[in-house]
């Protein structure tokens, strides 16, 4: 069972998310929080695996709470679920340590997928969020010429570019006509080569090295 805390200042949304997650056999909602401070307290009390976190809450907001969880409870993952997806929110949430980032128009299956991925230590970024992250990372892609950086193979660089475009493993596999297992192998190797641990970090790396651009 994946223990989940739901944090949102709107009671209706908070309760609806908790009820929705209770419908899945592998989730246990151990608490709901109206602000970030309460979310941190519930994690300390129940040892939650994942916090489904709104960003804009009164008192302790989601960014501050995410940073606290990163420091005080590093084993707990945060998936941001918010109405807002502007550049500042995206970067603030990810820099604070969020593992996944979805907007509130995500389907229940997308939310469940993001929670499961977070519990396993991987990340899920909404495709629109991924594009905004690229656009906010700087004024433009770094100039690049010559050999691929950090010993990346051509296929690994291709997979990295597709990750930066917001594609899930299944979609990458379909695009490249390979199995998901093969995609996972490519991702494991390229993550090791470039020294990152999740997709958000990989997106930033791809942008810095000119392997993706905001319009990709």
Give me the pLDDT at residue 151, please: 87
Cα atoms in the Cβ-side hemisphere of radius 13 Å centred on 20 = 17
Per-residue pLDDT tens over the stretch 116-174: 989 988 777 776 666 555 554 443 333 334 467 888 887 888 899 889 888 888 888 87
On the question of pLDDT at 175 being above 80, the answer is no
Per-residue pLDDT tens over the stretch 87-114: 566 777 777 888 888 888 888 998 999 9
Residue % of the chain over a pLDDT of 70: 84
Helices (H), the chain: 11-22, 36-46, 62-72, 87-96, 108-119, 127-136, 154-164, 169-176, 180-194, 199-208
Q: What band does 189 get if pLDDT is binned at 50, 70 and 90?
A: very high
Give me the pLDDT at residue 165, please: 85
Residue 51 DSSP SS3? strand
Per-residue pLDDT tens over the stretch 191-215: 999 999 999 899 989 888 888 765 5
Give me the pLDDT at residue 143, please: 35
Give me the pLDDT at residue 104, please: 80
Residue 31 DSSP SS3? strand
* Residues whose CB falls within 8 Å of the CB of residue 9, separated by 6 or more in sequence, listed in order: 34, 35, 54, 56, 57, 58
């Amino acid at each position: 069972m994946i223990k989940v805390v739901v944090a949102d200042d709107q009671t209706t949304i908070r309760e609806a998310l908790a009820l929705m997650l209770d419908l899945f056999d592998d989730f246990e909602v151990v608490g709901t929080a109206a602000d970030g401070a309460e979310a941190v307290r519930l994690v300390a009390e129940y040892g939650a695996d994942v916090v489904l976190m709104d960003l804009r809450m009164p008192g302790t907001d989601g960014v501050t709470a995410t940073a606290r969880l990163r420091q005080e409870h590093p084993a707990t993952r945060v998936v941001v679920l918010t109405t807002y997806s502007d550049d500042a929110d995206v970067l603030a949430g990810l820099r604070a340590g969020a593992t996944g980032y979805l907007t509130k128009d995500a389907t229940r299956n997308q939310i469940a997928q993001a929670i499961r991925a977070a519990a396993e230590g991987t990340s899920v970024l909404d495709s629109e969020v991924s594009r905004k992250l690229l656009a906010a990372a700087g004024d433009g892609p770094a100039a690049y010429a010559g050999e691929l950086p950090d010993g990346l193979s051509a296929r690994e660089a291709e997979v990295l570019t597709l990750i930066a475009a917001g594609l899930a493993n299944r979609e990458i596999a379909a695009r490249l006509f390979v199995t998901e297992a093969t995609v996972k192998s490519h991702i494991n190797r390229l993550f090791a080569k470039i020294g990152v641990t999740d997709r958000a970090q990989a997106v930033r790396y791809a942008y810095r090295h000119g392997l993706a651009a905001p319009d990709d």
